[in-house]
Amino acid sequence: MTASFDAADILDEAKRIIAAGESPPRVARDAVNMPMVRNWLEAMGDDNPVYERDGLAPPAMTQVWTMRGLRPAPDPHDPLAAMSAVLDAAGFTSVVATNCEQTYHRYLREGERVAVRSKLVDITGPKRTALGEGWFFTTESTWYVGAEPVATMLFRILKYKPAPRAALRPVVSPDTEYFWAGTVKGELRIWRCEECGALRHPPGPSCPRCGAMRPGYVVAAGTGTVYSYVVHHHPPVPGHKAPFVVALVELREGVRVMGELLDCDPAEARIGAPVRVDFVRVDATLALPAWRLS
């Protein structure tokens, strides 16, 4: 979205849609009819005999009469679609219905033909929710037979920007916890054998060179060069926004360490590029090693 399309713009658009008031009547495809009533009762498991006996439709079925079929054409007058389009354009692309409250004024009778009119009545936002930042808005729909209102519905949805999922957390063992304790402090620690001095990454409990079980560590200078890299596009990876660059970096000390190459235009990534370490703080107990082009 463009930076100019901010909360004030969303509210302006909402005011315009609210001011337009109730949409023109959209007439039901069919009149209230008993075959459709029977299908609905059967699907719902409702065996109340009153509908068949008196030629009535169940009130909870009201919305069914004005449903627009499996392949509905866009309705330029629908305030729900209009408001959703505004929020889509502003990046609030996901949707969840939160409330639906229906009020029935009377039973519908066989042969009556209903029409529905809708208006936008309320919008609030932006709100922080568990799903992500979003806007709640409410439409009110009224079903009429002629000029007589027979049912109303308040329908509330949340349009939101899905929050990026948090990065995957590493499994930490007693052999590797020194590394993750270091990244939280802003240190890139390299495993070192306290017996023979060998450096190694990734680490383990034993020295593959001399066999000693005396692991220690040194703090890396934090500079190196890109040994290889990928530009990741699909599928989504939690904690990273595609496309992103992941680089295998050979540190000055000689070991290789993996990390995201931050704020890097994919076209600028190349093998041999000098980088320095940075740390992406996930929370108080976890920071991930990452790189920036020097």
CB closer to other proteins, 21 vs 186: 186
Is 259 a residue that touches other proteins (CB under 8 A)?
yes
Site for other proteins in 186-215 (CB under 8 A): 201-202, 208
Does residue 169 belong to the site contacting other proteins (CB under 8 A)?
A: yes
| Residue 248 found at the interface with other proteins (CB under 8 A) | yes
Strands 115-129 and 132-145: antiparallel
Q: What minimum distance in Å lies between the beta carbon of 253 and other proteins?
A: 13
By CB under 8 A, is residue 233 in contact with other proteins? yes
Q: Which of 72, 170, 216, 274 binds other proteins (CB under 8 A)?
A: 170
* 96 binds other proteins per the rule CB under 8 A: no
Write the CB contacts of 77 (distance below 8 Å, at least 6 apart in sequence).
23, 24, 26
**By CB under 8 A, residue 260 contacts other proteins:** yes
User: Binding of other proteins at residue 80 (CB under 8 A)?
Assistant: no
262-281: contacts with other proteins (CB under 8 A): 266, 271
For other proteins, give the closer residue by CB, 49 or 235: 235
Answer yes or no: are the C-beta atoms of 229 and 247 closer than 8 Å.
yes
Residue 76 binds other proteins, judged by CB under 8 A: no
- Cβ proximity to other proteins, 55 vs 266, nearer residue: 266
| Nearer of residues 51 and 229 to other proteins, judged by Cβ | 229
**SS (HEC) of the chain:** CCCCCCHHHHHHHHHHHHHCCCCCCEECCCCCCHHHHHHHHHHHCCCCCHHHHHCEECHHHHHHHCCCCCCCCCCCCCHHHHHHHHHHHCCCCEEEEEEEEEEECCCEECCCCCEEEEEEEEEEEEEEECCEEEEEEEEEEEEEECCEEEEEEEEEEEEECCCCCCCCCCCCCCCCHHHHHHHHCCCCEEEEECCCCCEECCCCCCCCCCCCCCEEEEECCCEEEEEEEEEECCCCCCCCCCCEEEEEEEECCCCEEEEEECCCCHHHCCCCCEEEEEEEEEECCEEEEEEEEC
Residue 115 or 269 with smaller CB distance to other proteins: 269
Question: And the tokens for 129?
Answer: 């929710």
The answer to whether residue 171 forms part of the interface with other proteins (CB under 8 A) is yes
Select the residue interacting with other proteins from 172, 181, 198, 199 (CB under 8 A): 172
Which of 11, 31, 36, 231 binds other proteins (CB under 8 A)? It is 231
Query: Of the ranges 47-55, 71-79, 102-110, 221-229, which one interacts with other proteins (CB under 8 A)?
Result: 221-229
For position 244 contacting other proteins by CB under 8 A, the verdict is yes
Nearer to other proteins, 150 or 277 (CB): 277
Q: Which one of residues 33, 94, 102, 176 is an interface residue with other proteins (CB under 8 A)? A: 176
Kindly give, in sequence order, each residue whose CB lies less than 8 Å from that of residue 20, ignoring residues fewer than 6 positions away.
79, 119
In the complex, which residues of this chain contact other proteins (CB under 8 A)? Answer: 167-173, 175-176, 201-202, 208, 227-240, 243-244, 246, 248, 255-260, 266, 271, 282, 288-290
